[in-house]
Amino acid sequence: MILGRQGYFSPDSHQSLVDRPLRIAQIAPLYESVPPKLYGGTERVVAYIAEELARRGHEVTLFASGESTAKVPLRPGFTEALRPTGLDYMGPACHLRQRL
């Protein structure tokens, strides 16, 4: 939602909308779990960011592989990480599978 300059402030409060908790969707690659068991820099960063945003009071949902253990609610795109199972070539197809 895009708000005009006047829309950033609630009419019944002096608190800015940017100071209120947000609903955030973190989307991670399905190649590794979040955080990864061994290698996976991107997935590790996604876990750190998701957990810190939740710690700050935001509602964070993580879309990642089903093996992910980040301390936020998880919506798995595939039951397990793709690279360790040898299915890493199917990454884009697994993301699209949920839409078909």
pLDDT tens for each residue of 24-64 = 999 988 888 999 888 778 889 999 999 999 999 999 999 99
**What's the token pair of residue 66?**
């089903």
Is 15 part of a structural domain of the chain? Answer: no
Task: Check residue 34 and give its pLDDT.
Answer: 93
Contact 35, 70 (CB under 8 A): yes
Is 67 part of a structural domain of the chain? Answer: yes
Task: Check residue 77 and give its pLDDT.
Answer: 84
Task: Check residue 99 and give its pLDDT.
Answer: 46
Is 9 part of a structural domain of the chain? Answer: no
Number of Cβ within a 10 Å radius of residue 44: 15
What is the C-alpha to C-alpha distance for residues 42 and 47, in angstroms, rounded to an integer? 9
* Domain of 65, in residue numbers: 20-97
Contact 64, 76 (CB under 8 A): yes
Is 2 part of a structural domain of the chain? Answer: no
Is 30 part of a structural domain of the chain? Answer: yes
DSSP structure class, residue 78 = E
* pTM > 0.85: no
Number of domains the chain contains: 1
